[in-house]
Each structure stands twice: as C-alpha cells, then as structure tokens.
Structure 1
Amino acid sequence: MAQPGSFTLDDLKEVMRACAGVTDSVDLDSDIADITFTDLGYDSLAVLEMAAKLQNHLGVVIPDDVAEQLPTPRALAEYVNVRLAA
C-alpha cells in the first residue's frame, strides 16, 4: 500500500477489489476517479468496509458519516492523502 502522503487511485482500486470485489460491468482499470461509488456498484456498506480497511492499514481515521459523504474514488483518495500529510 502507499507511503504516507502518496495514496493513489491505484492503491484505492486494490482496496476496492479486496473489500467488495468488482462487478462485470465495471472496469476498474479505466478512469473511475469521478464516477460515483454507487455507479461503480459499491453500496454504502462496501464504502464503509473500504474505509475500515484504510483505517487499519494506514491509520487514517475515516468516520462512518464522512465515508458516506465521499461520493467518488477521487474524493476518498484525496481525503486519505490530506490525513496522511497531516
């Protein structure tokens, strides 16, 4: 996983694959940065699972209410990077 301050969308894609898998209709290798998690087939439970995994592996606290308000992979990656840089 990423070094502090350098969490990338590719790192997040690994977490997405590990936590909730991938539906056949989604190509995580394409540009998914600004596609909502819902449109990617990830429900709120899957997003909370990703947040928990990131907290465990990176030490970044992502409260449940915050995780639910991060609509896209880009938003989640940016949130993580801001906390890693702090």
Structure 2
Amino acid sequence: MRKTVALLALALAACARPDPEVIRLPPERVLVSPPRLLLECADAPAVPDAETQRAVAEYLVRLESAGADCRDKLRAVREFIERESADG
C-alpha cells in the first residue's frame, strides 16, 4: 500500500506544471495632443473708427469676447495636459 501511495504521489508530482512566468512590460507611452479646436482662438475684432461711444463699446465687448475665448481654450489645454501628465 505504501508503495502504491508513493507511486501515485510521484506520478501526480510529475504532471504538475510550474506557474507560468509573468513578463511585465513597461507601459507604452503614447503622445496625445489636445483637440485642434482648442488650439485656435477667436480673432480679435478690427478697431473701428471711434465716431461714437456705441461703436467703441461694441468693439470692447467683441474684444473681451475674443479674449475670453482664448483664455477658456488655454485653460482647457492646461487641464488636458495636467490630466494626461497625471495618467502617465
């Protein structure tokens, strides 16, 4: 009986496989660019003939709008870069 148990244990041990070797590769770096839409700001408006205060006021509103567009896009690009840097 002991010989049978020893033979069975030996036979089963021969069938066992070692754990497969796990090869860990470094993460692949991928260059990701911000969306093209965020890389172009609205054009600054043309300077009007300052004939009336209304024309100057409208110009200032359009100028501020173009500046706000650029600031918003710059902020979005900065957030995009920070998010990509944090993920990498």
Say whether the fold is shared (TM-score over 0.5).
no
Q: TM-score normalized by structure 1?
A: 0.27
**Higher-helix-fraction structure:** 2
| Structure with more relative contact order (C-alpha pairs < 8 Å, separation 6 or more) | 1
Larger radius of gyration: 2
Q: TM-score normalized by structure 2?
A: 0.27
